[in-house]
Amino acid sequence: MLLTLVSMTAATQAAAATQVPRFGVFEAPLEQAGTYPNPYTAVTATATFEGPGRAAGTIPLFWDGGKTWKLRFSPDAKGAWKWRVRSSDAGLDGQSGSFRCVASKNRGSVAFMPGHPYHFAYQDGTPMWWCGETAWALYTNSAQENHNRTTVEHYLDVRAAQGFNVIHSMLISEADWGNDGGMPFHDLGAETINPAYWREVDARLQSLTRRGIIAGLVLAWTDKGKSRQSWQHFPEDARGILIDAARLGYARYVVARYSAFPVYFVIAGEWNASRDDEAARRMCNAIGKEIQDNDPHHRMRAIHPGGQNSPERLKPFAEAPWNDFGDYQQNYSSIHANLLACRDQGKPVVNSEYAYYRREAEDGTLNKPNSASAEITRACTWDIVMGGGYFITGFGTTYFGGNRCRGPFDVDAPKNDDWEQQVQHVRKFFTPREWWKLEPHDELISAPVPRGRDLAGQRGGNICPPEVTYWALADIGREYIAYVRGYEGECTLALGDAPATTYTVRCFDPRTGGYAALPDHSGAGPASLTTPDEQDWVFEVRASSREGGGGRSLSG
């Protein structure tokens, strides 16, 4: 994915037509006329855009220090575009311009896959198999952890080469870190934002986009007593109500500054960590609606819960008009079942925090659920994808810039090598096939042993996934995927109401990424699948030709 940010002064635009690549970023710097103690709060400014085949939309401008304001927009259609500013400042009000959007190889941001709402595509329609990674501290620095622009750039090179196409991060760090530009706000209580901090965020966000990585932007965390910059630390209104101008103003600023990039927004991290769930729920709904109302790019929006959750606890915002995900889970237990329960909204489900691989306390204890070994983390990952969901994985040495894990930030830590290799096999297994047509059908697979339950792990009592389980995905009559672990012997895979045909059968090793061909299966009766041992194995059962299969597809 390429990103072209075209920045033109008003004078330059008057002299020549500006060309902007489709799904690129148009930027216009403008200058305020007035003098204000705090332009961030004192000035209102929005721009109206009109383009081919698109109704007029508006987007806020953002203050970038001194007298400078900036307008950013990403055109999604080729042809002529024009814009005009309305503002409380005389120097900004009435500014206008135009540009021409031209063809490009940009794919745009992540969006719903047309006709398959549980899945993702890029804006240009290319299917996107979401392969996510965690880097909460991506936009910040820590000298102690050796986390800075240089080490971040190296981290991004490594993760892009490994096939990750999504990385989510905090715009305001729960650890109260700044970056080369300083802190996000000079004074959060006084709402004096620090543009230099956000210019450094710009640079790192552009680095993600150049590498073809979608950025998940968490606006702020809920107060857990660990940060002075949480949502609850924004100034309150005179009645002490959390839904106030300060929070909504910050949400508009983030939309203005970043919605033109290939991003999606996460309203809050661990929204339910607050002591007052009802107040937090009202606050998050207001922020989500504010983003929805001010983003003409319609970037996807999510919210991140915290703690061990039941399905009801996981999805209190599932039906909110601003929320685009069935859930964006932090969920360490009953992973497969909880993911399936959250698909009832007809939206994608992402487990965004289920393991931080080999995260170590200072005494060397591995202290995160589902994280003690590649076997355990791999099992959880397959439990997610076999439910028709997507994952965001993480590594102790990188997920928080080195914070909360023994040792500094280190993407090259040898202890990560095995899971770094094996997580790539998951993506490589699904992307050659039409994965969006595969629906969860656990009822099709059976074995002589029952599925197990979550275990207390060998490391500090941490949660681990069941030792024994088996799941199935199916595009009935065309393709079936069976996943089995903890059982050696014969399993039975029913084929639903598919007519008789011949199926090729292969066994996939999720440790190595290798396939072994097995004897074909013929007829309409159940297929017998035999696991070679008690490790986890994946079976692919595919009609030898689409004409021969001719079965009913449940998902179109």
The predicted-structure confidence for 452-508, as pLDDT tens digits, reads as follows: 999 876 555 688 999 999 999 999 999 999 999 999 999 999 999 999 999 999 999
Q: What is the side-by-side order of every strand in the sheet holding 96-102?
A: 18-21, 96-102, 79-87, 45-51, 54-60
CATH architecture of 130-353: Alpha-Beta Barrel (3.20)
In 75-138, which ranges are E strands? 79-87, 96-102, 110-113, 116-122, 127-128, 131-134
Q: What pairing do the DSSP bridges indicate for beta strands 185-187 and 439-440?
A: unpaired
Report the C-alpha gap between 76 and 79 in whole angstroms: 10
Residue 207 pLDDT: 98
Instruction: Determine contact, residues 494/403, Cβ cutoff 8 Å.
Output: no
Mean pLDDT (the chain) is: 92
Q: pLDDT (tens digit, 9 = 90+) per residue, 492-546?
A: 999 999 999 999 999 999 999 999 999 999 999 999 999 999 999 999 999 997 4
Lowest mean pLDDT among 14-18, 70-74, 403-407: 14-18
CATH architecture of 439-549: Sandwich (2.60)
Residue spans in the chain of domains classed CATH 3.20.20.80: 130-353
Residue 451 pLDDT: 97
- Does the reported pTM lie above 0.85? yes
Residue spans in the chain of domains classed CATH 2.60.120: 439-549
Tell me 223's DSSP state.
P
Report the C-alpha gap between 213 and 366 in whole angstroms: 29
Report the C-alpha gap between 392 and 381 in whole angstroms: 9
Collapse the DSSP code of 494 into the 3-class scheme (helix H, G, I; strand E, B; otherwise coil) and give the result: coil
Q: Candidates 3.10.20.740, 1.10.510.10, 3.40.190.10, 2.60.40.10; correct CATH number of 5-102?
A: 2.60.40.10
Residue 197 pLDDT: 98
Residue 61 pLDDT greater than 50, yes or no: yes
Residue 444's closest CA among 497, 483, 488, 495?
Answer: 495
Report the C-alpha gap between 161 and 361 in whole angstroms: 29
The secondary structure of 513-542, three-state, reads CCEEEEEEEEECCCEEEEECCCCCEEEEEE
Enter the tokens of residue 118.
Answer: 């549980």
Q: In the structure, what pLDDT confidence band is assigned to residue 11 with cuts at 50, 70 and 90?
A: very low
Residue 256 pLDDT: 98
Residue 555 pLDDT: 29
- Tokens 């029952």 belong to 450
Residue spans in the chain of domains classed CATH 2.60.40.10: 5-102
Which whole number is the average pLDDT over 199-208?
98
The distance of Cα 105 from the centroid of its chain, to the nearest Å, equals 22
Report the C-alpha gap between 96 and 86 in whole angstroms: 9
| Backbone φ and ψ of 427, nearest 5° | -60, -45
Residue 6 pLDDT greater than 80, yes or no: no
Residue 485 pLDDT: 98
Q: In the structure, what pLDDT confidence band is assigned to residue 547 with cuts at 50, 70 and 90?
A: very low
Residue 515 pLDDT: 98
